[in-house]
Chains A and B, each alone.
Chain A
Amino acid sequence: MTVEATSTDLSSHPLLEPKGVHFKTPAFDNLVEVLTEWLWGGATGGFVFGAPRIGKSWAARSLTDHLRQRDGCSVPVFYMSIVDRDNKSIAEVSRRACIDQQLPINVRANADRLSEQFLTHVCDVQTRAGLRTAVLIVDEFDHLTPRQFNAFAEMFNRLDQLHRTMMTVFIGNKAEALKLLGAMEGNEYERIRGRFFKRFHEYYGIRNRGELMALMQQYDTLRYPENGPTYCAAFLPEAVNAGWRLAGLSKDLWRLYAEIANACELESWGLEYVVGTLNVLVTDLLPRYGWHDVDEELLREAVLLTHVADDFVKALPVEAKK
């Protein structure tokens, strides 16, 4: 096989596409487990928080077909993402819900009509699934105002009138989310707290070597196309034929990341950065610089290339002081 032919074949490889692969992580499996527990327990809602860029939104969007009832029926999952707008009205929540489900919105439509449109969609999907329950994922909920949570309470009540339920799971960045929740301590929000904030879960990225290894093993086992070579074999065919596996680098890679994480006070390795590091290793650095004796500096470079340790905003005052 010529080099040209190889490059042509690899041009559509999922590792070369931004967010082309959905890797399973222990944190995601844990999230599925927690949400399933909430669902089976009849929870009306809860919230999930975590540091930025650790893969919360990715996990939220991947929940479809993962949440199941006790009898194995897949529970419909609706995803909506809150955006920061000047108009922080209750109607805006329903409008956003409609937009994210690609439902029609009308400039003149009021909150009732918009919420009716969205909830009819929910009922439709529930009817098609033969269920009376669903899960609504509200991403970036830290952009909401305390008053806007009433929109979700109303949605729950309106579905309850039809003997249907919808568990609302709010997902947001830890710092902003906790700040918002702190502002909702008063008695006037007790109704909202009781409904949505009784249960919570913290989402993490990769936290230890075992989790990193589990992720790296997927590069050694996943195939593209379905009957084609593994992800590693596509870019490093000789290495894989010689018995080399990417997961074998997990020990060194984790040690190097731990050094960087200690220096930069990182709690966990965000999925975006881990996948970025592994992708650049598999697709670029290892094929170019060799896989026999992988230099520590090469691994460090792969980690730092994703800018995991960079925070220019924090660095600015230091520069100013100089």
Chain B
Amino acid sequence: MKFPVEESASIEGVRLNHGRSLAHPLQSSYALARRLIVANPTASMAACFAFLKKSSSSEAVDSIEPYLWRNAPTDSVRQCVFCAQRLFHPSVYGLPALTLCPVHHSPFSSHCPGCGHAWERRLTRRTPQCEICGSTPWAERGTIQLKQRLYRQLKWFNDWLVNCQSNRKAHTYPELFDIYRQLRPRSNVESPRFTQPELCHPFYAAFESQKRNGVANQRLSQLHVITHSQSLCC
């Protein structure tokens, strides 16, 4: 899901809550939108979205999200049920490379098991009320924060992916396809084309890790990211 984020302001003479007390250090734009809706139970959905568009620059979403926008095959949200109850959804949950929730070790789903609707439906309708994908019960709002260690791990993964994406543009080393073309420049036969996996490919993280001699494999495995044990070097 793509939601532009700008400076905060009051909407039509009323001030909407940011829901800062419900915020997590990492958040996707889906999480931000849901948080604003939960924090403003008396505001209309239209007002919430108008507020979202004018929301402050301090409400930045994860740095990997813009890369996901370019590569995501679908707008559907992947979410962990237990994270949903804590209003937690980092952008990296949208990566197919992630097999299980790194926090709760539970599988991701595209639909809420409570109400059966897609996770993103909550961004358009408040009803039917659901304690998993809808508004978090008041009494549980004091305990929605996760352990700092988990935030640090996910932040590292987020930054590692951003780093991989940035380096990808800057690379100068030849790919197999370049070598093949050098060997047979005038051949019209179909070349055994090799392309790197994109961000939304299940083996993207494994490939990027192996490019760096697999040094990140252990940390990635702990986060339930698909890795590959064999080196890319021949």
A binding-site residues for B, Cβ under 8 Å: 98, 101-106, 109, 113-114, 116-117, 120-121, 123-124, 126-128, 158, 161-164
Say whether B80 faces chain A, with CB atoms less than 8 Å apart: no
Residues of chain B lying within 8 A (CB to CB) of residue A124: 17-21, 39
CB <8 Å contact, A163 and B142: yes
Least CB separation from A126: chain B residue? B21
CB <8 Å contact, A120 and B10: no
CB <8 Å contact, A106 and B17: no
Say whether B115 faces chain A, with CB atoms less than 8 Å apart: no
Say whether B44 faces chain A, with CB atoms less than 8 Å apart: yes
Residues of chain B lying within 8 A (CB to CB) of residue A120: 17, 19, 21-22, 39-41
CB <8 Å contact, A109 and B21: no
Least CB separation from B16: chain A residue? A104
A106 and B75 alpha carbons, distance in the complex (Å):
31
In the complex, which of the residues A105, A106, A163 has the most CB atoms of chain B within 10 Å of its own CB atom?
Answer: A106
Q: What is the distance, in angstroms, from A102's C-beta to the closest C-beta of chain B?
A: 5
Name the one of A103, A127, A161 contacting B15, with C-beta atoms under 8 angstroms: A103
**Chain B interface bracket (under 10, 10 to 19, 20 to 34, 35 or more):** 20 to 34
Q: What is the distance, in angstroms, from A30's C-beta to the closest C-beta of chain B?
A: 32
Name the one of B47, B138, B142 contacting A116, with C-beta atoms under 8 angstroms: B138
Q: Name 19 interchain pairs, CB-CB below 8 A, sorted by A.
A: A101-B15, A102-B15, A104-B16, A117-B17, A117-B42, A120-B39, A121-B15, A123-B20, A124-B21, A127-B20, A127-B21, A127-B23, A128-B20, A161-B138, A161-B142, A162-B21, A162-B138, A162-B142, A163-B142
B29-65 contact mask (Cβ, 8 Å, vs A): 1 or 0: 0000000000111111001000000000000000000
Residues of chain A lying within 8 A (CB to CB) of residue B185: none
Q: What is the distance, in angstroms, from B54's C-beta to the closest C-beta of chain A?
A: 14
Q: What is the distance, in angstroms, from A91's C-beta to the closest C-beta of chain B?
A: 11
Residues of chain B lying within 8 A (CB to CB) of residue A109: 41-42
Residues of chain A lying within 8 A (CB to CB) of residue B138: 116, 158, 161-162
**Told that A101-B15, A120-B40, A120-B41 touch, could you supply 5 new A-B pairs with CB distance under 8 A?**
A98-B42, A106-B42, A120-B17, A127-B23, A158-B138
Residues of chain A lying within 8 A (CB to CB) of residue B23: 127
Q: Known: A124-B21, A126-B21, A127-B21. Contact between A117 and B41, CB under 8 A? A: yes
Total inter-chain residue pairs, C-beta < 8 Å: 68
A154 and B15 alpha carbons, distance in the complex (Å):
23
Say whether B183 faces chain A, with CB atoms less than 8 Å apart: no
Least CB separation from A160: chain B residue? B142
Residues of chain B lying within 8 A (CB to CB) of residue A113: 41-42
In the complex, which of the residues B39, B41, B141 has the most CB atoms of chain A within 10 Å of its own CB atom?
Answer: B41
Determine chain A's interface SS by DSSP, over half rule: helix
Residues of chain A lying within 8 A (CB to CB) of residue B16: 103-104
Residues of chain B lying within 8 A (CB to CB) of residue A114: 42
Residues of chain A lying within 8 A (CB to CB) of residue B21: 120, 123-124, 126-127, 162
In the complex, which of the residues A98, A105, A128, A162 has the most CB atoms of chain B within 10 Å of its own CB atom?
Answer: A162
Q: What is the distance, in angstroms, from A133's C-beta to the closest C-beta of chain B?
A: 13
Say whether B179 faces chain A, with CB atoms less than 8 Å apart: no
Say whether B13 faces chain A, with CB atoms less than 8 Å apart: yes
The 8 closest A-B pairs by CB, nearest first: A123-B21, A162-B142, A104-B43, A127-B20, A109-B42, A104-B14, A113-B41, A106-B42
Least CB separation from A109: chain B residue? B42
Residues of chain B lying within 8 A (CB to CB) of residue A127: 20-21, 23
A163 and B47 alpha carbons, distance in the complex (Å):
30
Say whether B189 faces chain A, with CB atoms less than 8 Å apart: no
Q: What is the distance, in angstroms, from A284's C-beta to the closest C-beta of chain B?
A: 37
- CB proximity to A under 8 Å, residues B134-160: 138-139, 141-142
CB <8 Å contact, A117 and B40: yes
Residues of chain A lying within 8 A (CB to CB) of residue B142: 161-164
Q: What is the distance, in angstroms, from A210's C-beta to the closest C-beta of chain B?
A: 42
Name the one of B19, B47, B139, B141 contacting A104, with C-beta atoms under 8 angstroms: B47
A158 and B139 alpha carbons, distance in the complex (Å):
8
Residues of chain A lying within 8 A (CB to CB) of residue B47: 104
In the complex, which of the residues B13, B21, B43 has the most CB atoms of chain A within 10 Å of its own CB atom?
Answer: B21
Q: Known: A120-B19, A124-B21. Contact between A105 and B10, CB under 8 A? A: no
CB <8 Å contact, B42 and A103: yes
CB <8 Å contact, B42 and A104: yes
Q: What is the distance, in angstroms, from A300's C-beta to the closest C-beta of chain B?
A: 46
